């Protein structure tokens, strides 16, 4: 099996985890599925020979794992710092700046105690990853992120659409 094919299979597994992540209610459930998605996504980038995004995704996975248990701002600042250090450690091209922005936004969102804010921040982060994956030419990764964004929007609407209606009624 070629490295490219293996990377796309790993991206596919990340895809499944990402699709289901936003369908669950509760901040903690979303974050646990994002940890699993990060594991497969990081492996996907390592196999593709793209250590920059892989390191950012590993840091992201550790961040989401920590955020499952805490919203402490000290952890957030630690992971923001780790994202920046990881970025400069493996920097290869200007394309990597997209991973830095996505990593920073995902960190802020992951540690935000409000579930709605967390979901919106991660949706924006996902949109940035779509652009990155298109430019990095990882088709399954790009399609994965597009469907994850659609799923996240659907999950957001499912969990919060009635909220405005309930306030008005």
In this predicted model, what pLDDT tens digit does every residue of 135-158 receive, in sequence order?
988 787 788 789 889 988 998 888
* pLDDT tens per residue, range 13-32: 988 898 898 888 888 998 99
CA-to-CA distance for 102 and 121, rounded, in angstroms? Answer: 9
The answer as to whether 133 is a domain residue is yes
> Which pTM was predicted?
0.76
Domain housing 27: 3-161
CA-to-CA distance for 20 and 36, rounded, in angstroms? Answer: 11
The answer as to whether 120 is a domain residue is yes
The answer as to whether 169 is a domain residue is no
pLDDT at 100 over 80: yes
Coil, strand or helix at 6: helix
DSSP per-residue letters across 96-154: HHHHHHHHHHHHHHHT-S-HHHHHHHHHHHHHHHHHHHHHTT-HHHHHHHHHHHHHHHH
Domain total in the chain: 1
CA-to-CA distance for 60 and 162, rounded, in angstroms? Answer: 31
Q: What is the pLDDT of residue 42?
A: 93
The answer as to whether 135 is a domain residue is yes
The answer as to whether 166 is a domain residue is no
Mean pLDDT of 51-79: 88
pLDDT at 55 over 60: yes
The answer as to whether 97 is a domain residue is yes
49 token code pair: 């020979």
Higher pLDDT pick, 91 / 31: 31
Phi and psi at 124, nearest 5°, equal -65, -40
């Amino acid at each position: 099996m070629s490295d490219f094919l293996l990377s796309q299979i790993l991206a596919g597994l990340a895809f499944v985890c990402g699709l289901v992540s936003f369908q669950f209610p509760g901040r903690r459930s979303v974050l646990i599925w994002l940890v699993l998605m990060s594991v497969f996504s990081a492996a996907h980038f390592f196999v593709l020979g793209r250590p920059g995004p892989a390191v950012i995704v590993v840091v992201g996975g550790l961040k989401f794992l920590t955020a499952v248990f805490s919203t402490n701002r000290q952890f957030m600042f630690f992971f923001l710092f780790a994202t920046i250090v990881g970025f400069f450690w493996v920097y290869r091209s200007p394309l990597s700046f997209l991973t830095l922005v996505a990593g920073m936004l995902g960190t802020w969102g992951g540690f935000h105690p409000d579930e709605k804010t967390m979901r919106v921040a991660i949706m924006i982060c996902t949109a940035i990853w779509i652009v990155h994956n298109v430019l990095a030419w990882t088709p399954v990764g790009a399609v994965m992120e597009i469907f994850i964004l659609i799923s996240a929007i659907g999950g957001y609407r499912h969990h919060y659409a009635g909220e405005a209606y309930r306030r008005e009624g």
